[in-house]
Structure 1
Amino acid sequence: MLKLEHGNSAIGATLVTSAEELRKQNRATIDCFRTEAEHPGCGLGFGADTLVMKYYGGTEHDVDVVVYGNKLVGAFISDNGPTNYPSFRVWSLWI
């Protein structure tokens, strides 16, 4: 699975099945999501770097942590239900 490191809502997340497909999709993702100004609200303020991770089917979970003054002040785990394969975006975002 290829995913933007700093995007939100699974924007740019893509399931890839080969090294060649990974290279092509990585270039396409970086070209598409260059700056926050081009995609306001997507969370690209830190760039369009990507990461590769193992894909596990099933439900989607979010893990959010809040750090203030170098101290952990909150941590939350949310069960978002099944993903909207192949886009990996939660259905409720479109409603």
Structure 2
Amino acid sequence: MLKLEHGNNGIGATQVESAEELKKQHRATIDCFRKEADHPRLGLGFGAETLVTEYYGGTEHDVDVVIYGNTLVGAFITDNGQTNFPSFRGWSLFI
């Protein structure tokens, strides 16, 4: 999986099958979002770095962690159900 580090809602998440495909998709993703005028709203105001991780099929979960003054204040896990493959965005975005 190639995913934007600071993006939200699975925007820019792509499943890749080879190192060559990863390089090509990485360049296309970065080029696309650097040209996007609304990039801060998409969570890209912090940068356009990407992560590469193994893909595990199944339901989508959000993990939110609240830290204040170097102390863990709260942690929440939300089960969002199945994702809308191949976009990896939750179904609720389309309702």
TM class by shorter chain equals: over 0.9
Q: For structure 2, which runs of at least 5 residues remain unmatched after alignment?
A: none
Alignment of 1:7-26 (within 5 A): 7-26=7-26
Higher strand share: 2
Match of 2:82 in 1: 82
- The whole-number CA distance in structure 2 between the counterparts of 1:59 and 1:9 is 14
Report the count of equivalent residues.
Answer: 95
Q: Percent identity?
A: 79
When the two structures are superposed, what TM-score results if normalisation uses the length of structure 1?
0.93
When the two structures are superposed, what TM-score results if normalisation uses the length of structure 2?
0.93
Computed over aligned residues only, the root mean square deviation of the Cα atoms, in angstroms, reads 1.5
Alignment of 1:48-87 (within 5 A): 48-87=48-87
Q: For structure 1, which runs of at least 5 residues remain unmatched after alignment?
A: none
Higher helix share: 2
Deviation at 1:71, TM superposition (A): 1.2
